[in-house]
Amino acid sequence: MKIGIGNDHGAYTLKREIVALLESLGHTVIDFGVGDVTESDYPVAGKAVARAVASGECERGIVLCGTGIGISLAANKVRGIRCAVCNEPYSAQMSRLHNDANMLALGARVVGSELAKMIVRVWLETEFEGGRHARRVAQIMAIEDDAP
C-alpha cells in the first residue's frame, strides 16, 4: 500500500519507528511530517496527510502527535477522511471493521513503540466488514453535505 504519514515534534521518534515497520512490511511511505523535534504545529501535518488520502495519492494515512487527538481532529476536517485515534489494538481493529477508518492517529506520549507497532499492524491487516456498517459510515459522510 501507499501510506502517508505525518507527525509533529512530539512524535518524531515514534514516527521513525513506524516508517521502518511499514517499509519492512513492503509498504511505500510518503512522509508529510517534521524531521526533528523542533516545536511544530500538528494541524499542518494532519491536513497534509488527510489531503493525500482524500485525493487518492495515498490509500491510507497514519498521523502521530503527543496524544493523537489534535492531529486526528485536524485530519477529520478534510472531506472524505475518517481518522480514528487508537491507542490500543481493539479500537484499531474496530475502526477498520465497523468504521472503515482511512486514517489512524497514534499518541506518541501515550503508547510505547512496541504497542504502537502492534496497533499499526492490526489496523492495516483488518478489512471493513461492510453490511450494516456501510450504511452507518455513509450516514457519517453525508454529514459533510449538511448545511450550514
Residues assigned a catalytic role: 65, 98
Q: Which is nearer to ligand RB5, 8 or 100 (CB)?
A: 8
Query: Of 10, 33, 46, 61, which lies in the binding site for ligand RB5, with binding defined by CB under 6 A?
Result: 10
Of residues 100 and 107, the one with the C-beta less far from ligand RB5: 107
Binding-site size, ligand RB5 (CB under 6 A): 8
**Region 40-69 residues binding ligand RB5, contact defined as CB under 6 A:** 42, 65-67, 69
**Backbone CA torsion sign across 6, 8, 11, 17:** positive
Output the smallest distance, CB 97 to ligand RB5, in A.
26
Q: Which is nearer to ligand RB5, 78 or 100 (CB)?
A: 78
Told to check if 8 binds ligand RB5 by CB under 6 A, we report: yes
- Tell me which amino acid residue 69 is: I
Report the interface residues with ligand RB5, using CB under 6 A: 8, 10, 42, 65-67, 69-70
